Structure 1
């Protein structure tokens, strides 16, 4: 039997599956690093290995998918805001300690971002901020022209503008502090927003999916708390990545047959 579908539906499906593929690609890259390079302190530390291109590319692919596939009402707000933090994790590398990564000398006592990476952070953040401002302005214009503006949409745009402005101010006012802490802040915000998205999805889903999303949201919260106190970054980030993948797969299956995914709340 031949199944019919619209081009909008197929695009929606393929981009969702593409995000799954991006997450799987990152997992494959991490395994290769563990086999060829040796133990790394975290997934983010693959930035300092031959897997750097994969790590950075996956973060930007996730950014695109989250913006393209943002859902309804509060879910849209949370996914769009999460998309602001994913590229920061790619642009600002995680800190590294002396002798922690083969061939990487941070050049400081304790942990820090190597000085050689600082110019790239400034360059990347300037580009990111300009793109973010253009994206927020474009989203506002489109929402007004298409008559899809709402209180929730206006709030999302305002919060996004504050995050972008605050991030740029931090990067300019305290570049050393930004380089030291921005990656961790972005990662915590990213996974927190995904956890909140799972909560919102649970509230709107049918009973079976509601339980699935609620469990995922609870596990993400537990994982973030565990990371804060145990500092087992590799395992914590791996668990977070798996939970993100499970959530995205579950949501993809649930919404597979949406004929025309819209930008207005479902009625």
Structure 2
């Protein structure tokens, strides 16, 4: 019994540490342009352009840490887990592949350093190799070592379990077809897709999202925050309505900001606002994980009746 209690405390500590770590990683990323402003008196055109400055290490470490944690953190359903894994995988591309360099107004520069293109190619080769190896090892692991036994079957399970290898296959094909073009332009699409996936993760954390999961047969794991929304306990210490509203705002804002940013990017010649778009998305990212941590803490402090059985 003592060992079981110790294991449960260890899992709980890990649960909170991972989520706090995601917030810290986002702060680290935001620190890159702030330090440039303090030390050099100017902001980069975008946060991603920190790669081309003395703050490169801070930016790369922050995004890499967030990507690792997104892959490691466990979702409450196979859908959420898949979205987190895909977002983490794309995050590694964002961290490892330099963005297209821009001038102070945010307009892309005509010349892309060929040495950096080569660095990007090496990074993509490494990421694709590690990704394929990780997928193969994961597929060979015994079922008991792969995490929760997700309660979803049929076409939803086939699509969800095939999403990550499909992404890797697309990456391999794109690299073989035109590795230089991928090395130059992979950063921005990966960043846009990553935040879109995170917006969907936030939406799944709402009561409406939980019911969508149940409709496709992806039943959340027992004693999870998402399962609590399918059968809420009267007098629960967790204010579900408030958290639902917050997650809805985060998800909707992320997706709307990305849509507006893409439209403006395609129509405005000097997109100097990109820095503010990235900052807004990172702040929403932080709000989501802080709310996740707070909600889990409230549920742990006063567990719902169904969790006490």
Q: TM-score, normalised by structure 1?
A: 0.85
Query: How far has the Cα of 1:187 moved from its partner?
Result: 0.6
- The answer for the alignment partner of 1:236 in structure 2 is 277
- The answer for the alignment partner of 1:118 in structure 2 is 117
Q: Is the 8 A contact 2:51 2:98 kept in 1?
A: yes
Q: Indicate how the Cα distance of structure 1 residues 223 and 112 shifts in structure 2: closer, same or farther if over 3 A, else same.
A: farther
Q: Where does the alignment leave 5 or more consecutive residues of structure 2 unmatched? A: 1-5, 211-228, 230-239, 265-270, 301-306
1:167 aligns with 2:171: yes
- The answer for the alignment partner of 2:32 in structure 1 is 29
Q: Indicate how the Cα distance of structure 1 residues 253 and 154 shifts in structure 2: closer, same or farther if over 3 A, else same.
A: farther
Helix, strand or coil at the partner of 2:87: helix
Q: Which of 233, 236, 245 is equivalent to 1:211?
A: 245
Residues 188-213 of structure 1 show CA distances to partners (whole Å, capped at 9, x for unaligned) of: 11000000111111123532211110
Residues 201-244 of structure 1 show CA distances to partners (whole Å, capped at 9, x for unaligned) of: 11235322111100111111121122113332101101011011
Q: Which moved more, 1:184-193 or 1:172-181?
A: 172-181
- The answer for the alignment partner of 1:263 in structure 2 is none
Query: How far has the Cα of 1:100 moved from its partner?
Result: 4.3
Q: Is the 8 A contact 1:195 1:221 kept in 2?
A: yes
Q: Which moved more, 1:28-37 or 1:143-152?
A: 143-152
- The answer for the alignment partner of 1:196 in structure 2 is 200
Q: Distance in 2 between matches of 1:112 and 1:198?
A: 38
Q: Aligned pairs, how many?
A: 249
Helix, strand or coil at the partner of 2:128: helix
Q: Which of 82, 86, 92 is equivalent to 2:87?
A: 82
Helix, strand or coil at the partner of 2:74: coil
Q: Is the 8 A contact 1:216 1:247 kept in 2?
A: yes
1:156 aligns with 2:160: yes
Residues 81-113 of structure 1 show CA distances to partners (whole Å, capped at 9, x for unaligned) of: 11110010112111114x549xxxxxxx94454
Q: Is the 8 A contact 1:19 1:62 kept in 2?
A: yes
Q: Is the 8 A contact 1:70 1:80 kept in 2?
A: no
- The answer for the alignment partner of 2:50 in structure 1 is 46
Helix, strand or coil at the partner of 1:96: coil
1:252 aligns with 2:293: yes
**Which has the higher Rg, Structure 1 or Structure 2?**
2
